[in-house]
Chain A
Amino acid sequence: MPALTRNKKKGAKLQTETPPLNRRTKSNTAPAKSHKPPLKKQRKGISYEKPEVVSNDDEEEEEEEEEEEEEVSEQSDEELGSDFSSEEEEDTEPLADDFLGGSDDEEEEGTLGSSDSDSDGSDLEKESKAIDEEREREERDAKDELQMNIKEQPDEFRLPTKKELEEEASGPPDLPALQTRIKEIVRILSNFKDLRPEGVKRKEFVEQLKADLASYYGYNEFLIGTLVEMFPPVELMELIEAFEKKRPTSIRTNTLKTRRRDLADVLLNRGVNLDPLSKWSKVGLVVYDSQVPIGATPEYLAGFYMLQSASSFLPVMALAPRENERVVDMAAAPGGKTTYVASLMKNTGIIYANEMKVPRLKSLTANLHRMGVTNTVVCNYDGRELPKVFGQNSVDRVLLDAPCSGTGVISKDESVKTSKSANDIRKFADLQKQLILAAIDLVDAESKTGGYIVYSTCSIMIPENEAVIDYALKKRDVKLVPCGLDFGQAGFTRFREHRFHPTLEKTRRFYPHVHNMDGFFVAKLKKMSNETKASEGDEPVETKEQAQLSSDDDEDDEPKQDTKVDENKRRTPISKPNNKGDKNKNTNVEGPRKQKKKRSQWKAEIAQAREDKRKVMRKNTKEPGRK
């Protein structure tokens, strides 16, 4: 066998000898000599690449090669000398085996090794040239391969088939694979026109993205579905990534006891690394790190500052209470916002701090006392009862930081990812709607300095934010005013099938990936008058009808509206201001009979109008169908 291989090799070598020989004879000796030092390196490199290939059988071949190479080496320059021969040896051994394997490289090395005698310089030149060419070829091949790989992946990206999905589902999730798939889908979705593979609908990509995000980041279906509806893919990724990290800790200076500069000095001495929060706040400080626990310094205990997230400053800044005002905080615990309000009011006026849950009352009172707030009355009611307790139209400003699903503060509480469902959101939304009506009823529209309600949530869901404000706009005589916060994104005026009042763009939304604070929503309402709007139903037909009727029957309408309103909301006090003088008294005496008649008339007319509208709608829907 070895003999056979030897012969083959030699034959092959002989065959391959000639072309390089021809090439080499053409070149000069001088350049060949100059090639030599690099030659050395190249040869070494090549030889070291294939040390494994050496085998025992080659020993005999080595000896033969050595003889040949020694001749060559003698003829070549002194520098190379023994190195050269050794290199040649090593080359030939791998060559011997690889030649049988039959790759491109081997052929070249075969030619290299086989360069026996003839002219020394030309041999060397040929060898060096061959080596150069080989290297170039390798590089080219490598580049091509790389490009091939790069191109192949996106072109070949396809959604996993059902079978693959089942396989994935059966085992633990493969996180790196999920992540690459997520990135790919986001990339495709962001430029769907150009990058879409044929025949695949956008919806399928979106569905797959939802599933992947849910399993990679740990969201439940509902939440990830709503987020996907609200944000474009790239922004969605930013948002989700931002939710994974914590927001920086921030503290608020208690201006009742100290100034920000002094506090910063003291804390720096204690070894706290801090900075002013941002240009929109004069009392905020952000804490990067601290040698002492920031919530247990003597300064904290003495009430010089409060640990509060930056987003919680915003509703109080929007509320902007003045001195000697009456303010209600309807959901006050643990008291960060209440104490901020008190410090803005400089302990004058009166604050009613209400909290429904008993366990949270302790922390509220403790914080109030710690911060040195003296103008506060703490009570324990359900917020919806407050208008009964304090009386309607009795205070100047109300702050309602409503209980919400907490989807904006996922970075603080990861359980929100999995625990919130559509039902929860709806329940919160109902509660918030009732609370905001109560808040509006508390405020006195004729207050000299006030008449404002600030509604805020730490959630980014539309049913809890814009929908609640829209409801309030419909149900009460209030209007939206600018919050006074120039940064922050404007609220939605429309979303999917919902259409909100255009002034909703005055509300403000804050996101972790844009503003580096918790997800938040703030809206500021001004109460225009103390009257409630007559039960404007959701159907515009009714309101039109009522408007027509009210234009027909001016005087009689008021008591009617009052009674209707009374049924709904126990609003006897409001009917009083509407009773002006004798006229109304007279009508009131006759009222019940007339009211009954007119009410029944009304109902008939309303029913008629509804029927008409339905007919029109049917016609409209039929026509497009026919077309």
Chain B
Amino acid sequence: MRPLDETETTVVFEKIFKFVGNNLKNIVENPSHEGPEPEPGRYCFRLQKSRVYYVSESLVKRATNVSRKSLVSLGTCIGKYTHAGSFHLTIMSLGLLAANAKHKVWLKPTSEMSFLYGNHVLKGGLGRITDSIVPGDGVVVFSMSDVPLGFGIAAKSTQDCRKLDPNGIVVLHQADIGEYLRDEDEL
């Protein structure tokens, strides 16, 4: 386990910024209640076995006892580095992203299951959408009852979505909670 170096940190922050925008500040400076100390500490990012974790500092301190071979996970895993060297956010970061998301999309109940199977979000399944979405923005997908279902990249801006035909893709799927069942091994 080691802290992220400069390039890695920039890459990770960029990805997160797409989803949360200025709330990135919140994420980094969130007081954390984990750890046995009564006063809240801070969060930090750590890299372990090509996975990036978002952990509270007190946890990090205590996890130093654990050897590198045996440490499997700390706090929340937010993403991993592929062999090629690019960084992808995984579904396990959903909690963090959903709490701080700037761009949100709500799905109709009928198309929830389709998204959970890994399909993209079509115009016909769209319930609500926040304004001022630019293509290429990170979007967090919710159900109508505000349950976070996953996230993806916006394919069209909000304006264009209105003009789109029902089968047009609105959000390109990146990760969804159905992966806990479908791709257990990948996680």
Contacts and interface: CB of A to CB of B under 8 A. Distances in A.
B56 interface: yes
Contacts of A364: 72
Nearest to B147: A302
A370 B177 CA distance: 8
Contacts of A379: 63, 66, 70-72
A325 B34 CA distance: 10
- Looking at chain B's contact residues, the main secondary structure is mixed
A349 B73 contact: no
Contacts of A380: 69-72
Interface in A241-267: 266
Contacts of B55: 374
Could you say which of A298, A304, A362 has the most chain B C-beta atoms within 10 Å of its C-beta?
Answer: A298
A326 B70 contact: no
A365 B180 contact: no
A376 B54 CA distance: 12
B71 A377 contact: yes
B168 interface: no
B65 A362 contact: no
A366 B158 CA distance: 34
Given A298-B116, A301-B116, A365-B187, A378 B72 contact: yes
Interface string B149-187: 100000000000000000000000000011011001101
B34 A348 contact: yes
Interface in A342-373: 346-350, 352, 361-366, 368-370, 372
B73 A365 contact: yes
Q: How many interface residues does chain B have, given as a range?
A: 35 or more
A379 B181 CA distance: 23
Interface string B20-41: 0000000000000111111000
A390 B67 CA distance: 11
A377 B63 CA distance: 7
A378 B63 CA distance: 9
A396 B35 CA distance: 13
Contacts of A325: 36
B66 A374 contact: no
A560 B73 CA distance: 43
B65 A375 contact: no
A369 B113 CA distance: 21
A350 B62 contact: yes
A379 B62 CA distance: 12
Nearest to B34: A375
B74 interface: yes
A389 B73 contact: no
A324 interface: yes
Given A301-B180, A375-B59, A379-B66, A349 B34 contact: yes
A369 B92 contact: yes
B136 interface: no
Interface residues of A, number: 40
Interface in B58-100: 58-59, 62-63, 65-67, 69-77, 91-92, 95
B143 to A, nearest CB: 6
Interface string A287-318: 00000000110110111100000000000000
Contacts of B92: 369
Contact of B35 (A296, A375, A378): A375
A324 B38 contact: yes
B125 interface: no
Contact of A366 (B58, B143, B184): B184
Interface in A392-410: 396
A374 B185 CA distance: 21
Given A301-B181, A362-B187, A365-B187, A374 B56 contact: yes
A379 B112 CA distance: 35
Nearest to A262: B145
Contacts of A352: 62
Contacts of B143: 298
B57 to A, nearest CB: 12
Nearest to A325: B36
A349 B35 contact: yes
Contact of B72 (A266, A296, A303, A365): A365
B157 to A, nearest CB: 28
Contacts of B112: 298
B62 A377 contact: yes
B125 to A, nearest CB: 14
B97 to A, nearest CB: 13
B138 interface: no
Contact of A324 (B36, B73, B74, B184): B36
B75 A375 contact: yes
Nearest to A348: B33
B34 A347 contact: yes
A81 interface: no
A362 B185 contact: yes
A376 B116 contact: no
B37 A390 contact: no
Nearest to B69: A380
A391 interface: yes
A217 interface: no
A378 B58 CA distance: 15
A363 B184 contact: yes
Contacts of B34: 347-350, 374-375
Contacts of A396: 36
23 contacts: A298-B116, A302-B177, A303-B177, A304-B147, A346-B33, A350-B62, A361-B72, A364-B72, A365-B73, A365-B187, A366-B184, A366-B187, A369-B77, A369-B187, A370-B180, A375-B34, A375-B75, A376-B74, A377-B73, A377-B74, A377-B75, A380-B72, A381-B66
Given A301-B181, A302-B147, A347-B34, 5 more contacts: A303-B177, A350-B62, A365-B77, A374-B75, A380-B70
Interface of B: 33-38, 55-56, 58-59, 62-63, 65-67, 69-77, 91-92, 95, 112-113, 116, 143, 145, 147-149, 177-178, 180-181, 184-185, 187
**Which 7 pairs from chain A and chain B are nearest by CB?**
A301-B177, A375-B34, A369-B92, A378-B73, A378-B72, A380-B70, A379-B66
